[in-house]
């Protein structure tokens, strides 16, 4: 029964209202070392309800439905009369669950506290995975994080207890792995305050990354808005084998669609090739769908999901999913807005990068490409793990290669780090000997956390500015993301390829064809990796790291010290004054790629995620200024002197000068962090004008009362000068579908007028007028 020790969380999956409950005995609880009080029935939507909604929509649309349509439309607040047009209408949805990681949960919970509501309306959890810095090793790093972040962890635990939110303590693991092991199931709709929430699509769920304000809506019981997604189909044929892994599928897709090709769409995988992929492998593919801008990704229910559910203590759910299997796969004859076909028999191992996750190369050619482009060939560090690739199977396949090297007397030439995805994974790979193999080959097993993937890495083997190469099994490789060094060339690939390259120490090594040399001079080839999909002896749950909220938290207090530099209660933003926005100063005209990492850096700034004023000191410090090609160096138009972006923004605010940011394509690509929207609002920003937006960031800006606007003619980007003043007109008649205008006032006295598009609907216009979505929520409570 050891497998069931983590049922504190799992048995919240007891599905009421027509879905069978999981039965728990007192004897079971004694064996699992948990209390019967943990196992309260939850309010998950029943398959019967899902089926009923789908039947209603099917009659209305009178056509076959894709899998993602079934799940999304099955969660409509009003399936009988909701307008449904892919890519155009907004849907009002009722998600089943909310999940928040600790860096984003701080602001989400602060906003929920500001709402004045007594308790969350849907099952919700907080996961402590982002604030643990990788330094020396798992146990030491975890202990230090508990000490350094005690104030934040106490805030999250106490606010969770007061408002009915489950709390996964530091050391539990990465949010998306915990969700897969405990909360995801076929047909669920879950939103999470992290862009890689789509990981849950590996278990057949529609799991979508959002900002904290969206999470507050759902926790408050308000229907959640989402533009009706288009559907991109990816048909898989053939079978994965040899060195090719699930990661190579999404690396290939990223190369096809680019970082913005999935925007506004759900990527739906299907076809006979699906059955050759493990459940956790499907999760890997869905997870990294965030890198192509997709709303989410999903796989159809199959036997690999059933086995995973059974192995993670959810056999009852697997049995029920079997009964409703037709609901959990696409209809025959359904149509996709775009179709991509990939033959897995022909797919080769890939490695993407540097600096962007869609720059795809076959591993066989990366050495020559690197030489041609002047990228460093020596691999300084190989890093496996992250929310994308930290499953038992990932660890086993990597360990099989490390064992081959050890058997020949070799250790890694590069530094090698391993991040388990959860406490359950850590305990199981330790029991089964994988951890020892990693240690023996020269690796370091880090804490069950995000670590270097999000910049939580105290890297000391190279100096900042030193050109070098790292290879990772992570998902993102933006400039300076992992180690704060803009000269680091980061490449994304599978854990197997990372391990092979860490052993060889060079990008020029192709494990399919090249030989290694043992200390005795023997030449040998690494055989293709092998690894069990799931542990034969079941999972070892490790330590119980979950805190369930009490049934009644009304008597509990959540204290925020007014003197704290890490936590700060929120003040409401000002309402729209009813007039057009006149003479907005251009704060910065951004050149090229501008991700949420550029707008609100992570790494050392994570500690301020609960303090809006302090974290605003990182506003746009990574964005390139078109005026001088420099970062964090813009001209203060009041003084004529150059200064840091947040410093100039603060001076404008002190002087009553509102401002605007001008940007390029896919502005706000990357993480879901709503701080990238909160910070410009807090420092006096009013509008962001760009060629195109990433989905989550555009929504986050709307939620905070900002105007995300796009050039009707992208060439108009060139018309704006860094010293311009811009007036945005048409706000008095602001309605969906009607463009606004911008009057550009140049310093030479000339003027130009350009047209700006927007995607606001009526509800979102009310957010703008109220000053924020949270302000509007409070207005509706009166």
Active site residues: 129-130, 194, 476, 671, 673
The bridge status of strand 265-270 relative to strand 296-298 is: parallel
CA 424 to chain centre: 21
- Closest by Cα among 454, 379, 373 to 414: 379
Q: Looking at 301-402, which runs of residues are DSSP E strands?
A: 338-343, 350-352, 360-362, 379-384
Residue 453 CB: number of other CB atoms within 10 A? 28
For residue 583, is it left (φ>0), alpha (ψ between -120 and 50) or beta? Answer: left
Give the Å distances, CA to CA, from 725 to 240, 428, 706: 56, 60, 17
Residue 302 CB: number of other CB atoms within 10 A? 18
What element of type H or E holds 698? helix 695-703
Q: Which residues contact 697 (CB under 8 A, 6 or more apart)?
A: 596, 599, 667, 668, 669, 676, 677, 708
Q: Which residues contact 424 (CB under 8 A, 6 or more apart)?
A: 6, 173, 181, 539, 540, 541, 542
Q: Which residues contact 253 (CB under 8 A, 6 or more apart)?
A: 234, 267, 285, 289, 292, 340, 342
Cα dihedral 356, 360, 365, 368, rounded to 10, equals: -30
Give the helix ranges, DSSP H, for 288-385: 303-311, 315-323, 363-373
Angle 74-79-85 from CA coordinates, rounded to 5°: 90
Task: State the angle between helix axes of 315-323 and 303-311 in degrees (0 to 180), rounded to the nearest 10.
Answer: 150
Residue 227, SS3 per DSSP: strand
> Rounded CA gap, 447 and 426, in Å?
9
Query: Cβ(19)–Cβ(51) under 8 Å?
Result: no
Q: How far apart are the first and last CA of the chain?
A: 51
Query: Cβ(627)–Cβ(585) under 8 Å?
Result: no
Residue identified by tokens 């997709």 is: 294
- Closest by Cα among 203, 208, 4 to 95: 208
Query: Cβ(590)–Cβ(624) under 8 Å?
Result: yes
For residue 542, is it left (φ>0), alpha (ψ between -120 and 50) or beta? Answer: left
> Rounded CA gap, 84 and 77, in Å?
12
Query: Cβ(466)–Cβ(487) under 8 Å?
Result: yes
Query: Cβ(775)–Cβ(573) under 8 Å?
Result: yes
> Rounded CA gap, 208 and 37, in Å?
30
Peptide bond preceding 537: is omega within 30 degrees of 0, i.e. cis? no
> What's the token pair of residue 364?
């066989």
Residue identified by tokens 């709303």 is: 295
> Rounded CA gap, 48 and 674, in Å?
35
Q: Can you spell out the DSSP letters for 145-156?
A: HHHHTHHHHHHH
> Rounded CA gap, 634 and 626, in Å?
9
Residue identified by tokens 């330590």 is: 543
> Rounded CA gap, 510 and 519, in Å?
20
């Amino acid at each position: 029964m050891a497998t069931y020790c983590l049922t504190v969380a799992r048995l919240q999956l007891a599905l009421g209202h027509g879905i069978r409950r999981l039965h728990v005995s007192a004897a079971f609880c004694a064996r699992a070392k948990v209390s019967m009080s943990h196992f309260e029935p939850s309010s998950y939507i029943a398959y019967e309800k899902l089926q009923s909604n789908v039947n209603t929509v099917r009659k209305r649309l009178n056509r076959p439905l894709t899998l993602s349509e079934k799940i999304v439309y099955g969660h409509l607040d009003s399936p009988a009369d909701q307008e449904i047009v892919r890519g155009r209408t907004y849907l009002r949805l009722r998600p089943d669950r909310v999940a928040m990681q600790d860096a984003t949960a701080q602001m989400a919970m602060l906003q929920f506290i500001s709402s004045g509501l007594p308790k969350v309306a849907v099952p919700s959890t907080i996961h402590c995975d982002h604030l643990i810095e990788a330094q020396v090793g798992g146990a030491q790093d975890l202990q230090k994080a508990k000490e350094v972040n005690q104030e934040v962890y106490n805030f999250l635990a106490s606010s969770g207890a007061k408002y009915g939110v489950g709390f996964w303590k530091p050391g539990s693991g990465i949010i998306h792995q915990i969700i897969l092991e405990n909360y995801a199931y076929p047909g669920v709709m879950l939103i999470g305050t992290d862009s890689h929430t789509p990981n849950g699509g590996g278990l057949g769920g529609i799991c979508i990354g959002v900002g904290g304000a969206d999470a507050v809506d759902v926790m408050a019981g308000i229907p959640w808005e989402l533009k009706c997604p288009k559907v991109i189909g990816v048909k898989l044929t053939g079978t994965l084998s040899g060195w090719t892994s699930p990661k190579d599928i999404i690396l290939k897709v990223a190369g096809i669609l680019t970082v913005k090709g999935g925007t506004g769409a759900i990527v739906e995988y299907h076809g006979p090739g699906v059955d050759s992929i493990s459940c956790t492998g499907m999760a890997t593919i869905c997870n990294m769908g965030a890198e192509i801008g997709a709303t989410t990704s999903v796989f159809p229910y199959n036997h690999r999901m059933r086995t995973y559910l059974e192995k993670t203590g959810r056999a009852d759910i697997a049995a029920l999913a079997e009964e409703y299997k037709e609901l959990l796969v696409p209809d025959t004859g359904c149509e996709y807005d775009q179709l991509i076909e990939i033959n897995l028999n022909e797919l080769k191992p890939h490695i993407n990068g540097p600096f962007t996750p869609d720059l795809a190369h076959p591993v066989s050619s990366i050495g020559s490409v690197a030489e041609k482009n002047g990228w460093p060939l020596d691999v300084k560090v190989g890093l496996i793990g992250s929310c994308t690739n930290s499953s038992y199977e990932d660890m086993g396949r990597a360990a099989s290669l490390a064992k081959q090297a050890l058997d020949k007397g070799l250790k890694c030439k590069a530094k090698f780090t391993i991040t388990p995805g959860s406490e359950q994974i850590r305990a199981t790979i330790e029991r089964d000997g994988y951890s020892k193999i990693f240690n023996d080959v020269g690796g370091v097993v880090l804490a069950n956390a995000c670590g270097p993937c999000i910049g939580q890495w105290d890297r000391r083997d190279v100096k900042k500015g030193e050109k070098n190469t790292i290879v990772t099994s992570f998902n993102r490789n933006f400039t300076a993301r992992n180690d704060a060094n803009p000269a680091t060339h980061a490449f994304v690939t599978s854990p197997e390829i990372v391990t092979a390259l860490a052993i060889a120490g060079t990008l020029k090594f192709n494990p399919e064809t090249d030989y290694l040399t043992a200390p005795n001079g023997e030449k040998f080839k690494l055989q293709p990796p092998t690894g069990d999909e799931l542990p034969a002896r079941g999972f070892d749950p490790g330590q119980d790291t979950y805190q369930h909220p009490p049934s009644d938290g009304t008597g509990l207090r959540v204290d925020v010290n007014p003197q704290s530099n890490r936590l700060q209660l929120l003040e409401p933003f000002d309402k729209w004054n009813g007039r057009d926005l006149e003479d907005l100063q251009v704060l910065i005209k951004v050149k090229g790629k501008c991700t949420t990492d550029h707008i609100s850096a992570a790494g050392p700034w994570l500690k301020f995620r609960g303090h809006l004023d302090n974290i605003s000191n990182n506003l746009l410090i990574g964005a390139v200024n078109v005026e001088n090609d420099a970062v964090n160096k813009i001209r203060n138009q009041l003084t004529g002197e150059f200064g840091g972006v947040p410093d100039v923004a603060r001076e404008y605010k002190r002087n009553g000068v509102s401002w605007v940011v001008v940007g390029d394509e896919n502005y706000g690509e990357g993480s879901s962090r709503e701080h990238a929207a909160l910070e410009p609002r807090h420092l006096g920003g009013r509008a962001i004008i760009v060629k195109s937006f990433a989905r989550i960031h555009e929504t986050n800006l709307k939620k905070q009362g900002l105007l995300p606007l796009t050039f009707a003619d992208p060439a108009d980007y060139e018309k704006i000068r860094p010293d311009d003043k811009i007036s945005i007109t048409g706000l008095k008649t602001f309605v969906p579908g009607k463009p606004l205008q911008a009057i550009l006032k140049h310093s030479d006295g000339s003027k130009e007028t350009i047209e700006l598009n927007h995607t606001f609907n009526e509800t979102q216009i009310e957010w703008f007028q109220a000053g924020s979505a949270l302000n509007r929520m409070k207005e509706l409570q009166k």
